[in-house]
């Protein structure tokens, strides 16, 4: 009898030790797999050549937008000649956000960030600290713009004779400052940019681009990152370039100084939390900027990006059913026929266009595939914004918002009015805050194959180790 008790005790101990070993080592393997993060240097190198993307399952229903049509547009679609698509906007409640996030491989505590698609609270302690980093004596004293009566976050332009040219308000008079990026300096280069993601549809676009070794710039909305952090990280890992598009997608001239800071910095924070990267380029929603907005953005380390005149596809109107794909294709083909109009404002030299598209829905993604094919057939070379500008440091390396990044935009009435809608980039004169003096080494085919082999080996070793653990556990359990 004592011998039996001893044997039973030993078997009990072995079984539990085996189970504990399996659980502990499995946890370590999973934790190791989930802890990887793309460094700034790796992201910069990846931009030179995208890696292959995983296959993407196409959603069955193009009409179900899963909340990727911004709430602002859905609620105020009539302001753009559209129809109300409120029924297509996902539940904005915190509970719904938590539920969506619970299915994500990257977990985000939504309580740590502002409510989705709302202007962040300027009284939040973080915002107050960020506001103190700005030298407000350098910010032009330009009044906050009025919004439309039924869409208060879309700027309402006054009559032409009441627009102050000293303010250089792009939305209302087409005014551009020399620092504004609206074209690629090299003829034939094509800055491929997409706004308002990430979204479910972004996955299909990333796959299409990766299959063709193309890289694009995605201007990211912070509120969308709350919903789709995994997709954002996949975009970076695939070698695409990400840039700033604010937290809630409202016209920046309609916001107070503090609200502008909150919109930018909260987006900056959530993207850095997910990817480890601090963005360097910003596109104000609707391109809405004046010299007050420009100076605030500049002090936070950002370079202002618009797009080339005539190269806005207006694809965002597709989900609102106010435009059809053939109309957009026709407009794009007309732009291609007049590509010689994309010139430097300073020298008159031919330059390359920067297009405006959206990775909102599968409709816009499918349309973009046609646009890319047509553009390449005409001899344009698609690339991300950093490649278009020959910028080897496409992200901020040091995030000190109070440090100057280039010269402040002028507000003395000498601003340049845009006639052609294109501008030569002065990005080399507006370096990123803390940008390194040495350019990162580009990724070669050997590097990519080597990293792929190393990743495969690591995965294989992990699988072998896990299999061995279960084999040992099974042996002891059978005793």
Give yes or no for residue 427 having a pLDDT over 90: no
Are residue 17 and residue 89 in the same domain, yes or no? no
The residue range of the domain holding 345 is 46-429
330: its two tokens: 């026709």
Q: Is residue 41 part of a domain?
A: no
User: Known catalytic residue: 195?
Assistant: yes
* Residue of 358, 359, 366, 391 marked catalytic: 358
76 shares its domain with 31: no
pLDDT at 74 over 70: no
- Farthest CA pair distance, the chain: 104
With both helix axes pointing from N to C terminus, report the angle between 257-275 and 125-132 in degrees, rounded to the nearest 10: 110
Residue 145 scores a pLDDT above 80: yes
> What is the distance of C-alpha 152 from the center of its chain?
25
The reply to whether 439 falls in a domain is no
**Which residues, in sequence order, are CB contacts of 177 under 8 Å at separation 6+?**
168, 291, 294, 304, 409, 410, 415, 416
Flag whether 295 is in a domain.
Answer: yes
Express each pLDDT in 30-72 by its tens digit: 444 444 455 556 665 666 544 333 333 323 222 222 233 344 3
**pTM for the model:** 0.69
- Residue 162 has φ and ψ, to the nearest 5°, of -105, 0
Query: Are residues 416 and 472 located together in one domain of the fold?
Result: no
Same domain, 110 and 88: yes
Catalytic residue check, 358: yes
285 and 342 part of one domain: yes
Q: CATH code at 105?
A: 3.20.20.370
Indicate the angle between helix axes 200-211 and 362-377, nearest 10 degrees.
20
pLDDT of the residue at 240: 98
pLDDT band at 306 (very low <50, low <70, confident <90, very high): very high
Q: Are residues 20 and 139 in the same domain?
A: no
Quick check: 191 and 354 in contact, CB under 8 A? yes
Domain count, the chain: 2
Per-residue pLDDT of 367-409, as tens digits, reads 999 999 999 999 999 999 999 999 999 999 864 432 322 223 3
pLDDT digits (tens, 9 = 90+) for 249-291: 999 999 999 999 999 999 999 999 999 999 999 999 999 999 9
Is 99 a member of any domain? Answer: yes
Exposed / middle / buried, residue 465 (Cβ in 10 Å: 0-12, 13-18, 19+): middle
Q: Are residue 366 and residue 288 in the same domain, yes or no? A: yes
Q: 321 and 172: one domain?
A: yes
Tell me whether residue 27 is in a domain: yes
Q: Would you place residue 477 in the very low, low, confident or very high pLDDT band (cuts 50, 70, 90)?
A: low
Assess whether 312 and 222 both reside in one domain.
yes
Catalytic residue selected from 173, 180, 195, 210: 195
Closest CA to 179 of 289, 328, 311, 334: 289
């Amino acid at each position: 009898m004592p011998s039996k008790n001893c044997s039973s005790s030993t078997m009990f101990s072995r079984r539990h030790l085996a189970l504990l070993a399996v659980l502990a080592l499995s946890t370590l393997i999973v934790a190791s797999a989930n802890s990887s993060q793309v460094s700034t240097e790796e992201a910069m190198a990846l931009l030179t050549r995208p890696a292959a993307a995983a296959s993407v399952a196409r959603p069955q229903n193009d009409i179900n937008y899963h909340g990727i049509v911004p709430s602002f547009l859905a609620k105020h679609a009539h302001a753009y000649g559209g129809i109300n698509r409120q029924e297509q906007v996902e539940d904005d409640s915190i509970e719904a956000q938590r539920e969506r996030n619970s299915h994500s491989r990257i977990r985000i505590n939504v309580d740590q960030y502002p409510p989705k698609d709302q202007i962040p609270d300027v009284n939040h302690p973080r915002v107050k600290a960020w506001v103190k980093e700005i030298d407000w004596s350098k910010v032009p004293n330009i009044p906050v713009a009025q919004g439309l009566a039924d869409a208060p976050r879309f700027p309402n332009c006054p009559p032409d004779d009441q627009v102050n040219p000293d303010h250089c308000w792009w939305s209302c008079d087409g005014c551009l400052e020399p620092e504004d990026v609206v074209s690629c300096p090299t003829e034939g280069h094509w800055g491929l940019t997409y706004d308002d993601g990430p979204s479910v549809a972004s996955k299909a676009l990333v796959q299409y681009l990766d299959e063709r070794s193309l890289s694009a710039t995605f201007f990211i909305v912070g509120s969308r990152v709350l919903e789709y952090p995994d997709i954002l990280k996949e975009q970076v890992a695939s070698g695409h370039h990400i840039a700033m598009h604010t937290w809630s997608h409202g016209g920046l001239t309609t916001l107070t100084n503090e609200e502008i800071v909150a919109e930018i910095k909260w987006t900056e924070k959530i993207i850095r939390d997910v990817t480890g990267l601090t963005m360097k380029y910003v596109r104000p929603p609707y391109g809405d900027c004046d010299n007050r907005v420009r100076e605030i953005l500049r002090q936070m380390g950002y370079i202002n990006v618009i797009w080339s005149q005539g190269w806005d596809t207006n694809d965002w109107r597709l989900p609102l059913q106010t435009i059809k794909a053939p109309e957009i294709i026709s407009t794009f083909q007309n732009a291609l026929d007049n590509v010689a109009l994309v010139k430097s404002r300073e020298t008159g030299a031919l330059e390359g266009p920067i297009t405006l598209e959206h990775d909102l829905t599968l409709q816009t993604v499918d349309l973009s595939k046609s646009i890319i094919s047509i553009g390449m057939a005409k001899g344009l070379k698609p690339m991300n914004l950093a490649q278009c500008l020959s910028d080897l440091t496409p992200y901020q390396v040091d995030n000190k918002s109070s440090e100057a990044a280039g010269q402040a935009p002028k507000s003395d009435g000498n601003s340049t009015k845009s006639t052609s809608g294109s501008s030569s980039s002065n990005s080399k004169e507006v370096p990123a805050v803390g940008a390194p003096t040495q350019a990162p080494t580009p990724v070669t085919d050997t590097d990519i194959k080597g990293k792929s082999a190393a990743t495969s080996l690591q995965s294989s070793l992990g699988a072998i180790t896990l299999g061995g653990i279960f084999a040992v556990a099974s042996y002891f359990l059978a005793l």
